Chains A and B, each alone.
Chain A
Amino acid sequence: MLAKTDAHEIACDDVFKVLAEFAEMKQRGKDVAEMMPLVAKHLDLCPDCREEYEILMDVLKLEQQILA
């Protein structure tokens, strides 16, 4: 995790604001690490935010099944 450490990182509140957008982009198959690198990096480093993101992705998959 030290190797991934940068002087400039965004914290949990900023990630929360764009998490819905990030998850939808990921679900559409976009290269989110390229498009929103600071968010991707935060999710790599913050276990709490990553866990919530993973649950959100599960929910979006379920929603897709309902809408299919």
Chain B
Amino acid sequence: MKSSSLKLLPDWFISYNKFMARNNDTWLADLRSQGNPREIALSDLNEIILRMLSSALTRWLSPENEHFEPFIEDVAQETLLRVLDRLDTFEGRSKFTTWVYTIAIRIALSELRLRKWKEVSLDQLEESQEPDQAPFETFSNNDPNPETVIEQKQTMMKIKSIIDHELTPRQRAVMMAVNVQGVPLDVIAQRLGSNRNAVYKMMHDARVKLKSRLELEGYPPDELLNMFGN
């Protein structure tokens, strides 16, 4: 049976010592040193990452799952490599360990999102949506006044036509996938051969375009809060 470093995790008292053993300067000095201090620092950091991730990721992956421990261990290893690679970019504006957590969490979540959505292609997402209905259902209410209902319907039609005209097909597909179907930006980015930052910017451009056009047409943004289901 595979021995797991998670099973050997220290109790609270030992963890406490690991956390308190170094400040930012000594973490950096030890990790930049050669030989023993570096090895000990790497081993301590590995333990801290394992401990924290195994608690934080239980919402995503059950600790009972056979993949849980190997996954957390892989993420910790990948995190250590990235931390060493980017050590010079740490500016000391937070605790060193907090900076390391941001890296570990990003590595873990990016991978978990891709695993969760791996069967779904962007084409499927575009095909499976129902653009005539999905984003607009949130506008409907139970107002018994037929005039209000007709007015709302007209507003919906107008907004739909603006969306169709203002956004490129790709912008539309991405907005729908993210905001209606809850597809993570990471997954969209991977399908498009892009990255999360670029996908966010694409969505931002689309939102700005849509907002300014809708305002020009006399629809105040407050009324549009529910658009795209958010």
Chain A residues within an 8 Å CB radius of B87: none
Chain B residues within an 8 Å CB radius of A46: 185, 200
Interchain CB contact under 8 A, A55 and B109? yes
Interchain CB contact under 8 A, A67 and B16? yes
**Contact residue among B12, B106, B185, B210 (Cβ-Cβ distance under 8 Å from A47):** B185
Q: Which residue of B lies closest to A48 (CB)?
A: B185
**Contact residue among B105, B106, B225 (Cβ-Cβ distance under 8 Å from A2):** B225
Interchain CB contact under 8 A, B102 and A16? yes
Chain A residues within an 8 Å CB radius of B160: none
Chain B residues within an 8 Å CB radius of A52: 102, 105-106, 109
Given A5-B204, A13-B197, A66-B15, check contact A19 B102 (CB 8 Å). Answer: yes
Interchain CB contact under 8 A, B208 and A12? no
Residue B179 lies at the interface, judged by CB distance under 8 Å to chain A: yes
A16 to chain B: closest CB distance in Å? 7
Number of B residues with CB within 8 Å of any CB on chain A: 44
Chain A, residues 30-68, CB within 8 Å of chain B (1/0): the string is 000000000000000011100110011011101100110
**Contact residue among B95, B179, B214 (Cβ-Cβ distance under 8 Å from A1):** B179
Interchain CB contact under 8 A, A1 and B227? yes
Chain B residues within an 8 Å CB radius of A67: 16, 19-20
A23 to chain B: closest CB distance in Å? 7
Interchain CB contact under 8 A, B208 and A51? no
Given A24-B95, A56-B101, A63-B97, check contact A48 B208 (CB 8 Å). Answer: no
A11 to chain B: closest CB distance in Å? 5
Interface-side segment among B36-44, B51-59, B64-72: B51-59
Within 8 A of A (CB), among B178-212: 178-179, 182, 184-186, 196-197, 200-201, 204, 207-208, 210-211
B residues adjacent to A (C-beta < 8 A): 12, 15-16, 19-20, 52, 55-57, 93-95, 97-99, 101-102, 105-106, 109, 113, 178-179, 182, 184-186, 196-197, 200-201, 204, 207-208, 210-211, 214, 221-222, 224-225, 227-228, 230
A residues adjacent to B (C-beta < 8 A): 1-3, 5, 7, 9, 11-13, 16, 18-21, 23-24, 46-48, 51-52, 55-56, 58-60, 62-63, 66-67
- Pick 14 A–B contacts, CB within 8 A, sort by A: A1-B207, A2-B210, A3-B222, A16-B102, A24-B98, A48-B185, A55-B105, A56-B98, A56-B102, A56-B105, A59-B52, A59-B55, A59-B105, A67-B16
